Chain A
Amino acid sequence: EAGVTQFPSHSVIEKGQTVTLRCDPISGHDNLYWYRRVMGKEIKFLLHFVKESKQDESGMPNNRFLAERTGGTYSTLKVQPAELEDSGVYFCASSPSSGGDVAKNIQYFGAGTRLSVL
């Protein structure tokens, strides 16, 4: 079974440019999450999709960040325009609907996209 895949693995852009990150969750997983780790800090939650709907976007830093999950499959996270402080590693994770089985609440992570804004 394929895991969570993220593309690109690394992106270097200049301040003011636009970047779009993509996440393909594990097939059949309704829950999709975005997290970010800024250098030297903890991994922080950004938002959570259930299928195509945004369940919780309380962690999104500002309106320069736009996440979509059209059709409830893959998701994109667009940063426009990028600022220096947006640099970090962006992780995507997915989990199935638990149906009450707590063991299904485990989130499976991708390898992340390292974003460098110069």
Chain B
Amino acid sequence: ELKVEQNPLFLSMQEGKNYTIYCNYSTTSDRLYWYRQDPGKSLESLFVLLSNGAVKQEGRLMASLDTKARLSTLHITAAVHDLSATYFCAVDMNNNAGNMLTFGGGTRLMVKP
């Protein structure tokens, strides 16, 4: 059974600081997703990482994937208040279309002015 673990589950940080969220998974997978959720809103897709060594960046967020270590990271650079949200990583086990996602527990990020 695929297990996905995120840490930390809660992160409070000051504006301008850097931090990393970690996502470990237990079974080989070549596709990992990062989503963002604002309270009461839908999960918004941030990144899709498809291969070992993949790195993607969007603004102050950068995601990477190490399939050998079964680890993905979401790095936050110079955090701003607008990044406050819950971040989820999710893995699917198959490269075919239409697969179930297995989610981590989510990291609730609070950026304080």
Task: Write the residues of chain A forming the contact surface with B, with a CB cutoff of 8 angstroms.
Answer: 3-4, 9, 30-31, 33, 35, 41-45, 48, 50, 55-56, 58-59, 91, 93, 95, 97-99, 102-112
Contact = CB atoms under 8 A, between A and B. Distances in A.
Contacts, number: 72
B42 A107 contact: no
B35 to A, nearest CB: 7
A56 B88 CA distance: 23
Contacts of A58: 100
Contacts of A50: 98
Nearest to A9: B40
Interface of B: 4, 31, 33, 35, 40-45, 48, 50, 88, 90, 92, 95, 97-106
Given A50-B98, A97-B97, A104-B97, A43 B88 contact: yes
Q: What are the nearest 3 A-B pairs in CB distance?
A: A98-B97, A109-B43, A45-B100
Given A91-B43, A105-B31, A42 B103 contact: yes
Contact of B101 (A45, A98, A111, A112): A45
